[in-house]
């Protein structure tokens, strides 16, 4: 199994303003990640003490907050998930049909985050 996976990320509905005003991003994340969603690399990579899981959307949200978000994290995340009013699409499908945060990411998946609160 590859140690990293590549993902296409897109922001819409004004959410891109929090991410350097760039709508499209391509990121690479580890395929196996800490279960506590810690996105900082461990000091000792050989250490087996950290519990791990396959990279899922929940981890991706933490990753985006810690590595891509430029400002105002409270507008993106709330209570360990995306803020209410943000629609998440996994490969153009509502994430509610894919298991929401528990969806295990695959190489070349496209994840879209759209804010529904940009006016209306």
- Specify the residue, 45 or 119, whose C-beta has the smaller distance to another protein: 119
- Specify the residue, 34 or 85, whose C-beta has the smaller distance to another protein: 85
Per DSSP bridges, beta strands 32-34 and 52-54 are: antiparallel
112 makes contact with another protein (CB under 8 A)? yes
74 makes contact with another protein (CB under 8 A)? no
Q: Is 9 helix (H, G, I), strand (E, B) or coil?
A: strand
| CA nearest to 12, candidates 91, 114, 95, 92 | 114
Distance CA 120, CA 104 (A): 33
77 makes contact with another protein (CB under 8 A)? no
Distance CA 34, CA 58 (A): 11
Using the contact rule CB under 8 A, the part of the chain among 12-20, 26-34, 50-58, 66-74 near another protein is: 12-20
Distance CA 17, CA 44 (A): 36
56 makes contact with another protein (CB under 8 A)? no
- Specify the residue, 71 or 96, whose C-beta has the smaller distance to another protein: 96
Nearest approach, Cβ of residue 58 and another protein (Å)? 13
């Amino acid at each position: 199994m590859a140690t990293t996976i590549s993902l296409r990320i897109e922001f819409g509905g004004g959410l891109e303003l929090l991410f350097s005003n760039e709508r499209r991003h391509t990121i690479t994340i580890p395929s196996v990640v800490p279960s506590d969603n810690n996105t900082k690399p461990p000091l000792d990579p050989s250490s087996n003490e950290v519990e791990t899981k396959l990279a899922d959307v929940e981890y991706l949200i933490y990753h985006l907050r810690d590595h891509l978000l430029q400002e105002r994290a409270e507008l993106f995340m709330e209570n360990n998930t995306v803020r209410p009013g943000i629609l998440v699409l996994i490969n153009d499908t509502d994430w509610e049909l894919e298991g929401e945060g528990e969806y295990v990411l695959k190489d070349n998946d496209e994840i879209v985050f759209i804010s529904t609160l940009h006016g209306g």
